[in-house]
Structure 1
Amino acid sequence: MSYDALFSPIKLRGLELKNRIVLPGMNTKMVKDKHHVADDMIQYHAARAAGGCGLNIVELVSICKECHAYLYFGLYSEADRDELKKVTEAIHENGGKAAVQIWHGGFVPADFFDKTNVEETPDTVTVERIHEIIKQFGESAKLAVEAGFDALEFHGAHTYLPHEFMNPSLNNRTDEYGNQSLENRCRFNLEVIREMRANMPEDMPLLMRLDAVDELLPKNTTVEETIQFVNWAEEAGVDAIDLSRGNARSLATVYEVPPYNLEPGFNMENIAKIKKAVNIPVIGVGRVNMPALANKLIEDGEIDMIAIGRAQLADPEWCNKAREGREDEIRRCIGCTEGCYDKVIDPKATHITCTRNPMLCLEYKGMPKAEKAKNVMVIGGGIGGLVTAEILKKRGHNPTIYEASERAGGRFRLAGKAPKKQEFEAAVDWEIKECERLGIEIKTNTTVTPEMIAEIKPDHVVVAIGSEFATPDLPGVDGADIVTAEDVLAGKAEAKGEILILGGGLVGCETATYLINKGEKNVRIMDSRRVGKAMGMLRSMFLDIEYPGKTIQKSNRSKVTAIGDHTVDYKFTDKFKKTSNKSRSFDTLVLATGAKSRPTADLTAKCDELGIAYNVIGDAKKVRMGIDATADAYKVGMEV
């Protein structure tokens, strides 16, 4: 299919871009000691420039030490300039154009502050400091120009400092930068734009990131006010507006890194309202992950350019594949946010990653060919086994997948049965087709035994047989009208009437949404700790957005001790840590109490006996998330 609109050139001031696709600035955590760039960041951008992206926007850079938290790059010294020059050179060498987000975070980075930082908000800074910050934006712009960037972006969204000045509830000043009028609320941003423009070449474009809709705050900037500001910003020197959504002070956080709960293109209606009323080009943002939708939005005049962010994290060749008509080969982002968001807020994670693309941020390691091709038996055709086989094949090995069931996919396929998670099942179907495309044989309905290993004598074995339901050790667990969450999601069991779900992790919560969507009205989740505890922050927040109030009833700190005849006994611990014994009735009890690794000892023992090297990966190693299974797959695939 041809995507002429998506791949048509566009000119912003003196900069001509080869297509309409933008890699937006996304936090990767790859900064080293707040100021240094290494091969991982360089090759991350090089891969996406080589992959055909029109404009790479390097993630936000701090204009001063006050707001420079450890997650971010700085751009307020010549040393910072020289470090970022390594990134612009790599982008240019691979046929791309480079921009950078210039930023002051206001209160937002406070969770990542160290002793060098100071929280600065509209209500805490003096007029003198405001003027200094404006000058620092200009100085950072000058350094960015010297670093070789082709365009600059002023970040004014997501409750960072510029957004805080514009929002009538986050700005309580009473002076010329205060909230008495729209002009006053916009004054800081317009002065920053003029200062940045004064430090840029006349033919270099200045972009601005802004929220298409201000929402869920005590008071919000209206769409009409946003349109007025954009027109003022154009007069001040902005050449294109990059319209995102979300803030860090409310449930609207979910719109910044939208999970699978939101449909592709979810933000475009908001963007279209602004597009109709402004003169400068509009960059659309909103979980667009396939070229057909991106092309249609541009073709229909709803936007001028499209930010393809996490879709390019999942597949750095997204642009080339789309342009060459190979869209079926695109490894699609599934909106799980486990690697691109959860890892950002996880202090143990050294960089972001991706369930679909475990090579993310590891591009610098390449895909070295194996010294000697090996015949590898991959036991298990779940997401971990499939990805392992693909990496092994690309490195020159000869993997064969053995899957015990009639269809590969494992628990990832089951996950796709939950509401709005169809992309998970589509992902394993894609992986199966990718294996076929690479010439990897998948033997279904084949249970591997120790004797089979002895007969085949592979050079290497990868055990990826996954996990199985773990029956809780509770009296009465084998009683009437008790089913497992897995059987409910798979359509093998029904839950009716007053439904009690035991276990408030990811599976329990998704089973509840599945039942509500099927029309059940009385669903309660019980957990010994907190319902939604293992869903990840954004997906957990969506429980309250999509199922407000008591649509799904929740019993936190409720530890079930026994199951009777359509009743459960449990210990409830209140907020004062006082425990009391209680009971609750049910018509159907759904067990969502977790999984356990399938036994692997007989397989690994035979490998030991025969001297065959082996690895155990994914849930077979330890029950975790899909992102851990593909991370294991990458590690083993690269080591064999």
Structure 2
Amino acid sequence: MTHPYGHLFEPITIGPKEAKNRIWMTAHSTQLVKDHNFTDRHVAYYAERAKGGVGVITMEAMATHPTTQPYEGKIFAFDRAVVPNYQKLSAAVHEHGALLLAQPWHRGRETNGVVNRLPVWAPSSIPCTVYREMPHVMDESNIAEIVEGYTLAARYAAEGGLDGVEVHGLAHGYLLGQFLSPATNHRTDQYGGSDENRLRLVLEIIERTRYEVGSDLIVGVRINGDDGEVESGLRTEHWAQIARSIADTGLIDYVSVSQGTYQNRMLIYPTTPREQGYQVDATRQIKQMVPELPVVVAGRMTSPEKAEHAIASGAADMVGMARTLIADPEWPRKAQEQRERDIRPCVGANHCMASIVSAPLACIHNPAVGREAEMGTGTLEQVVTPRSVAVVGGGPGGMRAALTLAQRGHEVTLFERGTELGGQVNWIARSESYSEWGSIAGWLITQLQDTSVKIELGVEATVESLAAGGYDSVVVATGSSPLRHGWSMNHPARWGSGDQLPGVDQFNVVTMQEALQDHTQLGPQVMVFDDLGTRHAVVVAEHLQKNRHQVELVTSLSSVAPELAGTRDVGWVHKRLRTAGVVFTPNREVAGVDEDVVTLRDVHTDETEQREPVDSLVLVTGSKAEDALLHGLLQAGVEVRAIGDCVSPRRVFNAIWEAELAAREI
């Protein structure tokens, strides 16, 4: 029988090397760095993906000069100290038959000097829309330093036993892309003013890179397929010609294609609801321009079907994945074995992006990310003496605990008082734009079907029933429920008074959960009041607006959903909501409700204003831990572990993380 993904698992020649299949793990930050170098956690991280069956791995972008340090956790590719760790990494990855490449790069204007206390370098003094720091205009001596940095990076990659070098900085609006684009290169010297001059630095770096690694190693480039809607930016036809000009040198072995700049970062790493494979058409045009070279396509390539089609249709020769392989490092093996239902899906939540702001890389529902040596594939220990364990709560945390407990050999019963599994993830998934989030619960449900876990739906576990069941241990994952008192965080004393904000007990005041469960009970004019700044309020606002309610999103904060800056989609979400007609009102809190009149208070001036008619008011003001069962079990002396929101209402990630830890301890 012909394999459904036959093209995906064909070997392919890339210059002097052969990849065992067409799956390429593209570069992404891990924040596992220490002292600007790789660590043993890196070794375990990359080895885990190689063991999972990927054909090629490009490691995270590595600095070619001290001026490109957006944060401490950046590898210095220009420092010979990387060589011994390259050797460790290449040995670990090669053991599983994958190729391993370095990715030297420079951010140019898309950074600041906060960490390194150095000026930002760029071809012209135009600040980045994200960092907004005025750059130093590079002179020819600065340019020579950058070329030398790329040269050293290539030399050390070869000395470290890697399989090649991917020259980065062209894509995503980084330094070389800034030189290439007339939007950001206003120079009149030999590095600006014409297409030939703007390409000069790129060709100099590629020539030096090839010289350093010789003919036995791979040299490739990462380019854009489209800069996006940037005035005078480079579009697909421009990038296709750039690819052709670089290919004409005869110095490169492949082209990897991405999209976007920091002016439109949702082309680089988009969240849901961006469709899978959105970069395929642009990549196809690049491939047509350089038919003799392998071309890599990326952009939410999450399903084996989409990956196979991209290659079979001739759009590309290989499929690049980053977040897909963060979510499930065994994606290639599972696809090859046609175990599609077992693939843990990337749901486009971008928790991975948010995590690296202040901590190492993490995935919203793969707790092993960054801790592969302790929690990765093959680390789960079987119990010698199975125990009878009750898990109370069928949200993501409870299901994760039940799954891991069962996989270790325990006898597990999962209690859920509702009629379905999924918990609060199901609320979010009711919104069309966030329907993919439902796969967090969906994957766990699928995996539980292959275990011996006994699932009791519509059953509320109590201290008495659990005691009568004779369980050896209990995991409490009872979650949280929305607060209804209406007070913002600006009034902490009110939270303990027992009083409610005047009018919030009216029938037309509801919680986010109630609004998402049945929007038809709400009137045409809806106000959503947000005191959190997280994704919750924008989810419900977008859902209601799409279902023909007119929504005003009021927040006590200075902007709507500022925490989405971490997931990088705050601008994209604002655009979607405002285009749909949602009205934003920041710096206000609800002061009272009287039938269909809502009084708002300015959080800075204390001035008030009224809105009418407000047919329905949706409160997004936090949650309270549902911990009564936990305390009851503790008082009864039962062996119990609490996870997730019943400890403290937080994120899906925290519930799954704590579930995995608890299940490994029992």
**TM-score tier after normalising by the smaller chain length:** over 0.9
Match of 1:113 in 2: 115
TM-score (norm 1): 0.94
The one of 265, 269, 287 equivalent to 2:281 is 269
**Cα–Cα, structure 1 residues 352 and 230, in superposed 2: closer, same or farther, change >3 Å?**
same
Match of 2:644 in 1: 618
Distance 1:334 1:122 in 2: 37
Amino acid at match of 2:539: E
Match of 2:149 in 1: 136
Amino acid at match of 2:96: N
Distance 1:354 1:138 in 2: 34
Q: Is the 8 A contact 1:32 1:38 kept in 2?
A: yes
**Cα–Cα, structure 1 residues 496 and 276, in superposed 2: closer, same or farther, change >3 Å?**
farther
Distance 1:324 1:94 in 2: 17
Q: Is the 8 A contact 1:567 1:584 kept in 2?
A: yes
Residues 380-399 of structure 1 mapped to structure 2, 5 A cutoff: 380-399=393-412
The one of 187, 193, 198 equivalent to 1:173 is 187
Q: CA deviation at 1:549?
A: 5.1
SS at match of 1:158: helix
**Which string of whole-angstrom CA distances, capped at 9 and with x for unpartnered residues, describes residues 596-620 of structure 1?**
234323443334423x321211111
**Cα–Cα, structure 1 residues 136 and 598, in superposed 2: closer, same or farther, change >3 Å?**
closer
Amino acid at match of 2:254: A
Distance 1:398 1:109 in 2: 52
The one of 612, 632, 648 equivalent to 1:605 is 632
Q: CA deviation at 1:165?
A: 0.7
- Name structure 1 gaps, 5 residues minimum: none
**Which string of whole-angstrom CA distances, capped at 9 and with x for unpartnered residues, describes residues 422-468 of structure 1?**
22223312211201212222111110101012112322211101111
1:523 aligns with 2:535: no
Distance 1:494 1:266 in 2: 36
SS at match of 1:578: coil
Q: Is the 8 A contact 2:526 2:618 kept in 1?
A: no
Q: Is the 8 A contact 2:546 2:580 kept in 1?
A: no
Residues 358-377 of structure 1 mapped to structure 2, 5 A cutoff: 358-365=367-374, 366-370=379-383, 372-377=385-390
Q: CA deviation at 1:635?
A: 2.1
SS at match of 1:331: coil
Match of 1:506 in 2: 535
Distance 1:285 1:56 in 2: 13
Counting matched residue pairs gives 626
The one of 576, 580, 583 equivalent to 1:553 is 583
Distance 1:505 1:382 in 2: 20
Match of 2:128 in 1: none
Match of 1:41 in 2: 42
1:596 aligns with 2:623: yes
Amino acid at match of 1:484: T
TM-score (norm 2): 0.90
**Cα–Cα, structure 1 residues 111 and 584, in superposed 2: closer, same or farther, change >3 Å?**
farther
Q: Is the 8 A contact 1:71 1:112 kept in 2?
A: no
Match of 2:253 in 1: 239
Distance 1:143 1:598 in 2: 52
Match of 2:366 in 1: 357
Distance 2:300 2:587 in 1: 35
SS at match of 2:257: strand
Q: CA deviation at 1:40?
A: 1.4
SS at match of 2:155: helix
Q: CA deviation at 1:534?
A: 4.1
1:182 aligns with 2:162: no
Q: CA deviation at 1:492?
A: 6.1
Amino acid at match of 1:506: R
**Cα–Cα, structure 1 residues 270 and 112, in superposed 2: closer, same or farther, change >3 Å?**
farther
**Which string of whole-angstrom CA distances, capped at 9 and with x for unpartnered residues, describes residues 306-339 of structure 1?**
112111111111000000111111010101001x
Q: Is the 8 A contact 1:485 1:590 kept in 2?
A: no
Distance 2:276 2:113 in 1: 30
Q: Is the 8 A contact 2:155 2:212 kept in 1?
A: yes
Match of 1:316 in 2: 329
Match of 2:140 in 1: 127
SS at match of 1:328: helix
Q: Is the 8 A contact 2:412 2:452 kept in 1?
A: no
Distance 1:479 1:601 in 2: 27
**Which string of whole-angstrom CA distances, capped at 9 and with x for unpartnered residues, describes residues 404-436 of structure 1?**
111111111121111222222233122112012
- Greater displacement, 395-404 / 374-383: 395-404
SS at match of 1:438: coil
Match of 1:225 in 2: 238
1:55 aligns with 2:56: yes
Q: CA deviation at 1:592?
A: 2.9
Q: Is the 8 A contact 2:644 2:656 kept in 1?
A: yes
Q: CA deviation at 1:505?
A: 4.1
**Which string of whole-angstrom CA distances, capped at 9 and with x for unpartnered residues, describes residues 563-598 of structure 1?**
01201111124xxx4331111113422323244234
Q: CA deviation at 1:480?
A: 4.4
Match of 2:601 in 1: 571
Q: CA deviation at 1:16?
A: 0.7
Amino acid at match of 1:43: A
Q: CA deviation at 1:234?
A: 0.8
Q: Is the 8 A contact 1:419 1:510 kept in 2?
A: no
SS at match of 1:283: strand
1:29 aligns with 2:5: no
Distance 2:651 2:630 in 1: 23
Q: CA deviation at 1:511?
A: 1.4
1:77 aligns with 2:79: yes
Q: CA deviation at 1:72?
A: 1.2
Q: CA deviation at 1:52?
A: 0.5
SS at match of 2:521: coil
Q: Is the 8 A contact 2:519 2:544 kept in 1?
A: no
- Greater displacement, 437-446 / 3-12: 437-446
Distance 2:537 2:163 in 1: 49
The one of 533, 538, 546 equivalent to 2:568 is 538
Q: CA deviation at 1:189?
A: 0.7
Distance 1:186 1:494 in 2: 60
Q: Is the 8 A contact 1:261 1:542 kept in 2?
A: no
Distance 1:614 1:125 in 2: 62
Q: Is the 8 A contact 2:328 2:366 kept in 1?
A: yes
Distance 2:42 2:412 in 1: 31
**Which string of whole-angstrom CA distances, capped at 9 and with x for unpartnered residues, describes residues 356-377 of structure 1?**
2011111111323445432221
Match of 2:92 in 1: 90
Q: CA deviation at 1:550?
A: 7.2
Please tell me the root mean square deviation across aligned C-alpha atoms, in Å: 1.9
**Cα–Cα, structure 1 residues 127 and 598, in superposed 2: closer, same or farther, change >3 Å?**
closer
Distance 1:7 1:599 in 2: 48
1:442 aligns with 2:455: yes
Residues 421-500 of structure 1 mapped to structure 2, 5 A cutoff: 421-471=434-484, 472=486, 473-491=500-518, 493-500=520-527
Amino acid at match of 1:223: T
Q: CA deviation at 1:112?
A: 6.1
Match of 2:295 in 1: 282
Distance 1:479 1:534 in 2: 30
Match of 1:581 in 2: 608
Q: CA deviation at 1:118?
A: 4.5
Q: CA deviation at 1:213?
A: 0.4
Distance 1:480 1:321 in 2: 50
The one of 11, 17, 20 equivalent to 2:19 is 17
Match of 1:160 in 2: 174
Match of 1:200 in 2: 213
Amino acid at match of 2:183: S
SS at match of 2:649: coil
Distance 1:586 1:373 in 2: 60
SS at match of 2:355: coil
**Cα–Cα, structure 1 residues 606 and 549, in superposed 2: closer, same or farther, change >3 Å?**
closer
Distance 2:418 2:254 in 1: 53
